[in-house]
Amino acid sequence: MFMDKKIQDLFNNAKNIVFLTGAGVSTASGIPDYRSKGGLYDAVERPEYLLSTDALANEPAKMYDFIIKNMYFPATKPNVIHQKMAALVNAGKARIITQNVDGLHLKAGADAERVIEYHGNIYDVYGVTDHQPASYQNYQAGMRREDGDILRPNITLYGEIPFRTNEAAQWVMNADLVVIVGTSFVVYPFAGLLQYANAQVPILAVNRERIEAPQYVQQEIGDAVTFFEQLTVE
């Protein structure tokens, strides 16, 4: 369906692949995406507000309720997309910059030094006042610690700057192949990382639908699971 010699050769010949991944990478593991029908934001009033610094400051209970009901999937396992990407990472051929907060790239065994969780990790929890860590199980049990401090996951809320932005830009700048997978590519500054790619570097997008991207981006439309099942990792 997807894989031909030309695409396979792109991966075989690349020495510094950068994957830019979004929620569509994890849907095959049973985690809903954000903006599609039936996704996290579907039929929810002001979903961006519920994941914002304003909600944390003014209505933390509403934010907590939304996160607890919709964003924790501790039993989920990585799928073939995570696994093939991890194999390329651990072969020293790739790095991953992900919007996903589910931790599945790391759960698949990808070297943490070669993964940027651009929007954080939902399982990394801390107290708002003193920044002392807490387990996600404690957070699931209640919004506040015994001393009253509010707990929050270490994810990028609307109104906050994503993690390791300069490093992410440098990774894209040094890439010899950029592969966009499972993202609508409408959230900034993540989508803006593409501007750092070298003009001579091939850019491939694998998504169920076309994304807003420059004409030089090669777009493969279809199921990313099928694409990565067909991809051979040398």
| 185-221 residue pLDDT tens | 988 999 999 999 999 999 999 999 999 888 899 999 9
Helix (H, G, I), strand (E, B) or coil at 224: helix
Choice among 82, 105, 119, 131 that is catalytic: 119
Residue 41: pLDDT over 70: no
Residue 39: pLDDT over 70: no
pTM, 2 dp: 0.94
* Domain ranges, ordered by start, for the chain: 1-31+77-119+161-234, 34-72+124-155
Average pLDDT over residues 170-196: 95
d(CA 116, CA 171): 10
Helix (H, G, I), strand (E, B) or coil at 144: strand
Q: Does domain 1-31+77-119+161-234 have CATH number 3.40.50.1220?
A: yes
| pLDDT computed for residue 3 by the predictor | 82
Instruction: Tell me, yes or no, if 119 is annotated catalytic.
Output: yes
